[in-house]
Structures are given as structure tokens and as C-alpha cells.
Amino acid sequence: MTTAPDRAGTAPSIRDRMTLATILTGGWLAQGCYALAKSGIPDLLTDGPRPAADLAAEAGADARAVRRLLRGLAAGGLFTEPEPGVFALTPTGRLLCTDTVRSSRSAAIMFGEEVHRSFGEITHTLRTGRPAFDALYGMPFYDYLDSQPETAAVFTAAMGTAPVPAALNSVDLAGVDTLVDVGGGDGSLLAKVLPRHPGMRGALAELPEALEGARERLGALGLADRVDFTAGSFFDPLPTGGDVYTLSRVLHNWNDERAVQILRRVREAMPAHGRLLVLERLDTPVPEGDELSPQAAQGRLIDLLMLVMLEGWDRSKEEYRGLLEAAGFTVRTVHSPRARSDRAEHVIEAVPAVTDGAAAGEAR
């Protein structure tokens, strides 16, 4: 029996079916990663291969279930089975360990809980255009985090593993006395910038639970005494007088109205000579005939995540320009990643717009 061709005249091949099967079963592997990360089993393998029975006994799990789960994830490249019933980490699997640099353990837990449940209600989003998370939990995502400190800590840890956008290296920060990172999580951006500029001070405006992790991280680097910590939301009044303000991966989480509110808070706090750096992935069309790069593909998957979880989205350069102008800024330039292999994030550099009144005052 042959498969009838579709309207385009090409019947799906065995390879097409395998591709779809890989996509459809990907959630099984993701939930397996979640279960192992939650149980702590990857941490038990950091010293070398161990029998599944020993791992199960130490983790308080069922031995047969542990063995079958590890075998399944070995098929996905996360573990090896050097001898029957004995398992070892691969470099990919090591990312589920707590002590790995930029560990993905917290992300695996977050994806396995709130994110997984929200994707289970994606038909709600398809019908309404509203986040499935809101319908499932009865409140927006960030309100939920405010009510769930443990979940908020997991979220902060997961977000803290993302690298600082490489395009920031293109921005001239020489002579900056104070850099204010608004919504800067665990202080990753300040941890990268301050060592390069010994005369610079930092300020971090974040929610209280995130500031705890930031103090610990920056303290371990010997930088805490150069940073002022301000507890609060970016919808609250922000630290004033900074030379440079940064919003890294903040605006894309919010709809236009809320994004402009955040930008206006920055504008209120910023002196006339200040600069704003907006670090975001830009929604850019792929030229006809070009292949979708891995970075662009990842961006589209992240946008799908945001579709079910949040009210924001990745915007184009012109859309961000519109938001900035509505909040009283003028875009000076856009810094792009230097290498195609970098995450496809850009830095939009903006300055306070000069109003007619201000311009007249300067002329006098």
C-alpha cells in the first residue's frame, strides 16, 4: 500500500515520520529530566558510574523505575549504560547537576511543573490569545511568583543561568560612574561589567527574594561593596541618578502598556545625561532562501513559551522604538551580536528625548 501524495504532490517520507515522532515524544524526555532533577539523582552520579539500585536506594525511589527512566534518557543522550544496570552522566546529563556551571537543574524543574501544566492548556491560548497560565492558576505569572516564594527562587535560579547578551560588549561604558540594572535577577550583568570597570559602581533593583541570591553571588566575587541593592518592582520608583540603566530581557515579558510603564519609571529616575540599554532578542524576518539559524529557532521556541506563560512577546526593532518614544526616549543606536553563533540578542541604546522646553532651556 502506498501513501497518497498531499496537495503539494509530495508524500511524507519515513524520515518525516521519524522527525514528527521525535517532536511528539520530546515531552516525555523533558518530564524525565524533571523527575530526575527533582529527585537529585544526577548529583549522585557526579563521582562516576553507579548501579541504578544504589541510586534508587539513596534517592528514596523505586529501583526498577529508576533503571527504566535512566535507560530511556540514555536514548536521548543524557546518560550512558557502561554495563547492564549501571549508569553514568554524559556532558549533557551533567547539566542537570546542581554544581555544574550554568546548571539547567532549576530550568528542568520549572519546565516540568508550571510550564508543563500551562502547555497542557495551550488550546485555551489558541482560542483566546491569552496566556494559558493565567487561566490555569487564576492569576498572571508574576503575581503567582509573589505568592509562591519557593517557585520564585527556582525561577530566579533558572533565569540566572542565561549568559549576558554578547552584544553588550559593543557598548562603550568607559567613564560610567553608576550603572543601574533594573530587574537584574541574581546580578549576572553586574558580575560581568563591574570587574571590567574598576571605578564603576552598580545598583540592582529587584524583588527581595532575588536580591538575596544577588548579594550572595556578588559577595562571592568580592563585588557586593560596590553595589547598592534596592528591593522592589520595576513598576515602583527606581534608584535615581544613574549614568546608565539596563533592562535585560525584561520588556519582552510584558504587553505594550506595561512595558511603557516600566520605561517611564526608568525615565523618571534618569538624569538628562543618562543612557538606557535595552537588551532583547529582536524579531527579525528570515530572508527568503536562508535557513533558520539555531539561534533564531531557539528564539521562536522561547516565544512559544511566552505565548502560554506571559502577556509579552519578542518585538521588532521598530516596535521597541515605538515603546521607547512613547516613554520619552530617543533611540540612538542598536548594537548587534558580533558573531552569528551568539544568542540573537541586541542592545538598543536610548537617551532621554529632548523636548521643546528642554531645548529652549539649553539654548538659554
**Known catalytic residue at 252:** yes
How many C-beta neighbours within 10 Å does residue 55 have?
A: 23
Contact (Cβ atoms closer than 8 angstroms) between residue 191 and residue 168: no
Measured distance CA(272)–CA(206) in Å, rounded: 24
In the chain, the amino acid numbered 39 is: S
Task: Give the Å distances, CA to CA, from 360 to 352, 356, 357.
Answer: 15, 6, 5
Measured distance CA(190)–CA(205) in Å, rounded: 12
Contact (Cβ atoms closer than 8 angstroms) between residue 200 and residue 173: yes
**Nearest to 107, CA basis, from 38, 6, 172:** 38
Angle in degrees, 0-180, between the axes of helices 149-160 and 208-220, rounded to the nearest 10 = 40
Which cell numbers hold the place of 33? 529530566
Contact (Cβ atoms closer than 8 angstroms) between residue 261 and residue 235: yes
Which cell numbers hold the place of 125? 491560548
Q: Which residue has the cell 525615565?
A: 267
Which residue in 252, 273, 335, 346 is the catalytic one? 252
Which cell numbers hold the place of 147? 505568592
Three-state DSSP state, 43: helix
> Annotated catalytic sites, by residue?
252
